[in-house]
Amino acid sequence: MLTALTRAFRTPDLRKKLLFTLGIIVIFRLGSVLPTPGVNTENARKALEAAQSSELSSIYGMVQLFSGGALLKLSVFALGIMPYITASIILQLLTVVIPRLEALKKEGQAGTAKITQYTRYLTIGLAVLQSTAFVALARSGQLFGTSANDLPILLNDDIFTVVVMVVTMTAGTAVIMWLGELITDRGVGNGMSILIFTQIIAVFPSELMNIFRQKGAFTFTIVMIVGIFMIAAVVFVEQAQRRIPVQYAKRMVGRRMYGGTSTYIPLKVNQAGIIPVIFASSLLYLPQLLVTLFANSQESNVVVEWIAQNFGSGDTPIYMATFFLLIVFFTYFYVSITFNPVEVADNMKKYGGFIPGIRPGRPTAEYLNYVLTRLTAPGSLYLGLISMVPIFALTLAGATQNFPFGGTSILIMVGVGLDTVKQIESQLQQRNYEGFLR
Amino acid sequence: MASLSQMIRRFLEKPGSVDIAPFERTVAAAGALADRARDLSLEELREMAAANVGSAEFCAAVREVADRTLGERPFDVQLVGTLAMLSGNVVEMATGEGKTLAGALAAAGFALRGKSVHAISVNDYLARRDAEWMAPFYTAMNLTVGWIAEASTAEERRAAYACDITYANVSEIGFDLLRDRLATDPEATVQPVPQVALVDEADSVLVDEARVPLVLAGATDAGAAVPEMAALVRRLSRGYHFELDDEGRNVFLTAKGTDTVESALGISLYDHPGTVTEVNLALHAHALLVRDVDYIVRDGRVQLVNPSRGRVAQLQRWPDGLQAAVEAKEKLAPSDTGEILDSITIQGLLTRYPEICGMTGTAVAVGENLREFYQLKVAVIAPNRPCVREDEPDRIYPSLIDKELALADEIVAQHATGRPILIGTLDVAESESLAKELRSRGLEPVVLNAKNDAEEAAIIARAGELGALTVSTQMAGRGTDIRLGSPEVAELGGLLVIGTGRHPSSRLDDQLRGRSGRQGDPGRSVFFVSGEDDLLKAYLPEETLPKAEKDGRIRDKQAAYLVGHAQRIAEGVNTEIHRNTWRYTRVLEEQRTRLLDHRDRILYGDAGAEALRDARPERYQELVEQSSEEAVAAAARQIVLFHLDRCWTDHLGYFADLREGIHLRALGRLSPIDEFNREALPAYRKLLEEIEKRSTASFDALDLSAPLAEQGMKRPSATWTYLVSENPFGSDWDRVLRRVSSALRGRKKG
């Protein structure tokens, strides 16, 4: 990986792309720490510290993770890329429901360009909504939860300040969207992924510093060792794949210079990626939210109490077991949705492909299904275990709530990292070959 | 005056928004110089033009020279077009506006700047016609002009390329380059360093043709198709033994079909990949390739028909055994089969030119593609006289039979008035069946298709006369100039153009319409469409058209929308094929360029001998003692060149294999194009190692007294082209959405 990077820096056009991407990241980070006009930064910082040490921090942990700490700083880029991601998900779902959008999508690039345009408009719409909500919360002092102190976060309560803040944050979102597209077009990697990656990485130094300050050098070292070991493990498993050879019998071929087959279906051990973890953790936030809603009401309720006890924080055995089982379930579910053996077998059949020794059509689908099911078992266990690590680490080492090497962060980080390195490698060309021909 | 909306369009770089106001001012200034130019001698005009190419003086001078030598005085709009091309744009000019002359003036401009110009056209007929037509003008400008056709010899080609301006078909230029890249003797190359490309029918050349790379293939063995396979698949029936996919691009055996084939051959089919290939090829030839649509049989040979031009593609053959399978199907003797020696995309070919410009009647529609693939902008030139042609909305019918009846009725009724009619059909078979139908109704249509392309010029010359009835394929759809025969014809309403179906691209429709209404002439165009047309069946298999009215026509707006929608899907699919062709050949073309650097040093220098001397010093010395330094160097050069070319062929074969199955990587959430490029690097390293290994082995076994061809180093020859396939799976998300969508609609897929 490092050799790929150094070689990339020696290739002029790739170096340009890498520097361009780094430049965009710098701008992105700058905007993430630049406060929106009208915010009392001193008070906001104090309120944030107070909120982090309070009970409800786990919800904020998730929010902070995806905004790289920008949201609660009420910075220009406070909303991050979530509005854009939400907008694209919504529009993609809408293409299924609205015939007009489906028709556009079918028309190829010209149609997709229009859908992209709609996505941008929707992003702006969502950004207006979200920024208004956040500014309103900040204005009423509720942004940092009920336990927040009475420090005013805004310098000024008048409507002008509020409008300026909303406009600034919305414009910030538009700029982020643009930065992302710039990276995709002219830099390396997928812009959106790179920006998420940046946000996740961005909180690492301060989180690690916190551990070092609060728990001392020994815990810090343990955390680092565990973290690096985990990253290595994730990189290893993410690359693992079962290759099913496929032959395309549509062309007569002569003699061949290269041995081995390069035509295969790569079935990954972790065929589902990160989605199951996100599904499972989102689902587990629901009981926590319910608890916060009902906790204030006077009458006590057996169900609410039981939920509060077992799902209120992440370190109860029942929570952990549920989390693990949900991940396993969602892994199977997601794999079954994204990999349809019948469709794959059908496609292979149409294009003249077959697995040697196996008939195209149903026998092929059955074979693929068999291999896939056996592969998904270790895959789902792996996802479950990786996601449990921060919770274990939390209880065992007594680290802070915001253990930086959380399962989700590592999976995203490694995923984006591997994809980007692969893309860089694909653009690398042999520059100076020393040998027979000079 | 540029309106505000135009300025915004220009700012957004929308296609067709190049600012032509400066050119218009220059041309207006040239108008004032006309009197002065009239009194000058040719010599003085030449000096006036050469002094400052692109200025008002230049315009006035070339206009005067064209007037004197060709008898045609360029209109202002033609000069504006010339200037836009000299600035490196693609110019959109309506049919009949005199693109050829505008292009010639631009070519002369580039030549006066000291550049050699390649005027690239879509076929040999146009290349030769334009070169000969414009020759007096070029001669008067002291410029030389030449043309190249498929039949030109190497000697003629070299002479044509040495001219200031060379007219040639794009594939001829491409093949000359490919052949030069395989030359084993510096004297044998024909093409000089490229400088300026002036592309006629730019959308056709730069977009339509660019979907398929130009491929130089070499004959190796006689065709390997087994006639028994052709006989076997002839017994199979569609729907039971085999099926076609929705778009009619692929054919596959059903389980029943597999059983039948297995019992006929007495083997378990899928344990024998070679046999599967033979069966698939025979099936492909049997079910997907239709005689007189995809190919014609002439002089005992199978000849491909180019779908977007309607012409016989002389140099094209199907790849990898398919040609032989078709020959077996037609019970012809198998011709040589071969492998790909080298290939280049139209992009790769044209981006070698430091300066590109072009002209066509339909550029705005492909403006995005031109910008994406060639960084070219489009300038729209208004017609000299406004076009008054009436374009009727499509006449849509539910079934093919309804359409054909209505079409024949309309032709009979219109023909009775004496008005000339040009009917554009989609393929050779359709043109012939329509002509037969018309003959049965007592008419005498003239047919123009790939089978009688020799009479093309004569047929076109008469197509605008009173009472002319011409049935053509796409051949008449582009570049041809149909003049109205007499003033009487104009009174009848001018040329009537009837399309028997919408093409897969709106540009092809517009080009066909454009045969009528040239230079402000009257004219009319109409397309007949049915719900059973291939375009609708292939791209909108699930949609049905609204109900027809009493007279059999469908007038519902939804129907017109669906026809346009199907066409836009087809255009999208074709753009995607183009993009994939480009993306998947870019890395190969880069490697090819690098390898050619080595090759040039071997061909023009002694790099081959040096490499072998360093690798095998004793052997080298031994051979020099046997004969002479020069003889060994010459042999070494030929050995290394042979293995370099041979290994490159293997390299291309490996990538063809890789390309075919690379879309499967998407199933492991990997990006196919990245995976493809990642495999390219180690393969290139292996290629270089292999060249070394094989060259030294040949050198060790070298016998200087015998010809190299007898020592296993025999070179192949012959040429044809092929098409690549696309990625059908889409991303994770696409697959989720597809599942959700099919679940919502309760439709069962696959």
Torsion of CA B528, B534, B539, B540, to 10 degrees: 70
Mutate one of A7, A117, A248, A261 to test the B interface: name it (highest B CB count within 10 A). A248
Contacting residues of B for A273, CB less than 8 Å apart: 669, 732
Domain contains A213: no
**Do residues A193 and B669 touch, judged by C-beta distance below 8 A?**
no
Q: CA of B296 to nearest chain A CA: how many angstroms apart?
A: 22
Measured between CB atoms, does B431 come within 8 Å of chain A?
Answer: no
The answer for B 309-368 residues in CB contact with A (under 8 A) is 319-322, 337, 339, 368
**Do residues B396 and B529 touch, judged by C-beta distance below 8 A?**
yes
Measured between CB atoms, does B13 come within 8 Å of chain A?
Answer: no
Tell whether A149 and A32 lie within a shared domain. Answer: yes
pLDDT for A434 beyond 60: no
Cα dihedral sign, A277-A282-A284-A285: positive
pLDDT level of residue A68 (50, 70, 90 thresholds): low
Contact A106 B735 (CB under 8 A): no
B718 exposure class (CB count in 10 Å sphere: 0-12, 13-18, 19+):
middle
**Phi and psi for A396 in degrees, rounded to 5?**
-75, -55
Q: CA of A20 to nearest chain B CA: how many angstroms apart?
A: 20
Task: Look up residue A380 and give its two tokens.
Answer: 């789902």
Q: Concatenated DSSP letters for B535-548?
A: HHHHH-TT--PPPP
What is the number of domains present in chain A?
2
Instruction: Give tens-digit pLDDT for B64-94.
Output: 999 999 988 999 999 999 999 999 999 999 8
pLDDT of residue A47: 72
Domain contains A221: no
Q: A82-96, A300-314, B3-17, B450-464: which has the highest mean pLDDT?
A: A82-96
Measured between CB atoms, does B682 come within 8 Å of chain A?
Answer: no
pLDDT of residue A368: 94
Paired sense of beta strands B301-304 and B295-298, if any: antiparallel
A282-296, A417-431, B244-258, B509-523 — which is least confidently predicted?
A282-296
* Partners of B302 in the β-ladder: B297
pLDDT of residue B596: 92
**Could you tell me the domains of chain B?**
4-213+347-380 (3.40.50.300), 216-340 (3.90.1440.10), 390-555 (3.40.50.300), 573-711 (1.10.3060.10)
Instruction: Give tens-digit pLDDT for B218-277.
Output: 766 555 557 788 888 898 988 899 988 766 677 888 889 999 999 988 888 888 888 888
The answer for B 481-500 residues in CB contact with A (under 8 A) is none
Domain contains A292: yes
pLDDT of residue B91: 94
Contacts of A17 (CB under 8 A, 6+ apart): A186, A187, A188, A427
Q: Residue B675: closest CA among chain A residues belongs to which residue?
A: A426
Q: CA of B240 to nearest chain A CA: how many angstroms apart?
A: 15
pLDDT of residue A284: 80
What is d(CA A399, CA A393) in angstroms, rounded to the nearest whole number?
7
Closest Cα to residue B253, out of B285, B276, B226? B276
What is d(CA B119, CA A322) in angstroms, rounded to the nearest whole number?
72
Domain contains A63: yes
- Of the partner residues B271, B681, B739, the one whose CB lies closest to the CB of residue A430: B681
Q: Residue B738: closest CA among chain A residues belongs to which residue?
A: A96
Angstrom CA distances, B338 to A251, B214, B219, B344, stand at: 12, 15, 4, 17
Q: What is the mean pLDDT of chain A?
A: 81
Domain range for A89: 2-202
Domain contains A214: no
pLDDT of residue B308: 62
pLDDT level of residue B736 (50, 70, 90 thresholds): low
C-alpha neighbours within 13 Å on the C-beta side of residue A69: 20
A331-345, B120-134, B307-321 — which is least confidently predicted?
B307-321
Q: A336-345, B239-248, B330-339: which has the highest mean pLDDT?
A: A336-345
Q: CA of B653 to nearest chain A CA: how many angstroms apart?
A: 8
Tell whether A191 and A300 lie within a shared domain. Answer: no
Q: What b/e string do you get for B355-376 counting C-beta neighbours within 10 Å, with b at 16 or more?
A: ebbbbbbbbbbbbbbbbebbeb
Domain contains A45: yes
Tell whether A168 and A47 lie within a shared domain. Answer: yes
* Partners of B303 in the β-ladder: B296
Contacts of B463 (CB under 8 A, 6+ apart): B420, B422, B446, B470, B476, B482, B495
pLDDT level of residue A259 (50, 70, 90 thresholds): low
Task: Look up residue A185 and give its two tokens.
Answer: 């077009």
Tell whether A186 and A319 lie within a shared domain. Answer: no
- Of the partner residues B602, B654, B667, the one whose CB lies closest to the CB of residue A344: B667
CATH number at residue A263: 1.10.3370.10
Q: What b/e string do you get for B285-309 counting C-beta neighbours within 10 Å, with b at 16 or more?
A: bbbebeebebbbeeeeebbbbbbbb
End of a domain among A202, A219, A235? A202
Task: Look up residue B328 and give its two tokens.
Answer: 């077996």
Q: Concatenated DSSP letters for B412-425?
A: HHHHHTT--EEEE-
Q: What is the mean pLDDT of chain B?
A: 85
Measured between CB atoms, does B673 come within 8 Å of chain A?
Answer: yes
**Do residues A267 and A372 touch, judged by C-beta distance below 8 A?**
yes
Tell whether A17 and A122 lie within a shared domain. Answer: yes
Instruction: Give tens-digit pLDDT for B611-665.
Output: 899 888 999 898 888 888 888 888 899 999 999 998 998 888 888 888 878 888 8
Q: CA of B369 to nearest chain A CA: how many angstroms apart?
A: 10
What is d(CA A426, CA B107) in angstroms, rounded to the nearest whole number?
40
B142 exposure class (CB count in 10 Å sphere: 0-12, 13-18, 19+):
middle
Angstrom CA distances, A367 to A350, A358, B232, B397, stand at: 18, 8, 29, 47
Closest Cα to residue B319, out of B205, B227, B220, B229? B220
Mutate one of A105, A114, A119, A350 to test the B interface: name it (highest B CB count within 10 A). A350
Residue with tokens 């520059």: A431
Task: Look up residue B505 and give its two tokens.
Answer: 């691209």
Measured between CB atoms, does B262 come within 8 Å of chain A?
Answer: no
Give the CA angle between residues A154, A156, A162 to the nearest 5°: 75
Other Cβ atoms within 10 Å of A408 Cβ, number: 19
Contact A254 B252 (CB under 8 A): no
- Of the partner residues B661, B725, B736, the one whose CB lies closest to the CB of residue A338: B736
Task: Look up residue B634 and give its two tokens.
Answer: 């010459």
Measured between CB atoms, does B372 come within 8 Å of chain A?
Answer: no
Contact B735 A250 (CB under 8 A): no
C-alpha neighbours within 13 Å on the C-beta side of residue B58: 22
Judged by DSSP in three states, B341 sits in strand
Q: Residue B695: closest CA among chain A residues belongs to which residue?
A: A436
Beta strands, E only, B483-571: 495-499, 523-530
pLDDT of residue B309: 66
What is d(CA B344, CA B648) in angstroms, rounded to the nearest whole number?
13
Percent of chain A with pLDDT over 70: 79
Tell whether A144 and A234 lie within a shared domain. Answer: no
Contacting residues of A for B322, CB less than 8 Å apart: 251
Q: Count of A–B CB contacts within 8 Å?
A: 227
Residue with tokens 């790379």: B213
pLDDT of residue B674: 87
Tell whether A181 and A237 lie within a shared domain. Answer: no
Contacts of A143 (CB under 8 A, 6+ apart): A47, A72, A74, A134, A137, A153
What is d(CA A253, CA B220) in angstroms, rounded to the nearest whole number?
12
Contact B658 A358 (CB under 8 A): no
Closest Cα to residue B702, out of B645, B632, B617? B632
pLDDT of residue B69: 93
Q: A17-21, A292-296, B478-482, B665-669: which has the highest mean pLDDT?
A: A17-21
DSSP code for B312: B
pLDDT of residue B148: 93
Q: CA of B525 to nearest chain A CA: how many angstroms apart?
A: 26
Contacting residues of A for B729, CB less than 8 Å apart: 344, 347
Domain contains A210: no
For the whole model, what pTM was predicted?
0.81
Tell whether A155 and A56 lie within a shared domain. Answer: yes
Q: What is the mean pLDDT of residues A187-203?
A: 87
Percent of chain B with pLDDT over 90: 33
DSSP code for B305: B
Tell whether A266 and A403 lie within a shared domain. Answer: yes
Tell whether A167 and A292 lie within a shared domain. Answer: no
Instruction: Give tens-digit pLDDT for A215-253.
Output: 788 878 887 888 888 889 999 999 999 999 998 876 665
Instruction: Give tens-digit pLDDT for B579-591.
Output: 888 888 888 888 9
pLDDT of residue B209: 82
Q: Residue A415: closest CA among chain B residues belongs to which residue?
A: B669
Domain contains A432: no
Residue with tokens 């309103």: A136
Task: Look up residue B202 and give its two tokens.
Answer: 């730019």
Give the CA angle between residues B661, B212, B422 to the nearest 5°: 135
Contacts of B218 (CB under 8 A, 6+ apart): B338, B339, B340, B341, B649, B715, B716, B717, B718
Residue with tokens 């730069």: B206
Tell whether A241 and A158 lie within a shared domain. Answer: no
Query: Which contiguous run of DSSP H or E holds residue B252?
Result: strand B251-253
Tell whether A185 and A243 lie within a shared domain. Answer: no
ipTM: 0.81
Q: What is the mean pLDDT of residues B309-329?
A: 76
User: B76: phi > 0 → left, psi -120 to 50 → alpha, else beta; which?
Assistant: alpha
B8 exposure class (CB count in 10 Å sphere: 0-12, 13-18, 19+):
exposed
What is d(CA A437, CA B331) in angstroms, rounded to the nearest whole number?
48
Contact B280 A250 (CB under 8 A): yes
Other Cβ atoms within 10 Å of B52 Cβ, number: 11
Q: Concatenated DSSP letters for A38-65?
A: TB-HHHHHHHHHHHHTSTTHHHHHHHHH
Q: CA of A153 to nearest chain B CA: how many angstroms apart?
A: 40
What is d(CA A240, CA A237) in angstroms, rounded to the nearest whole number?
5
Residue type, B459: I
- Of the partner residues B647, B695, B733, the one whose CB lies closest to the CB of residue A257: B647
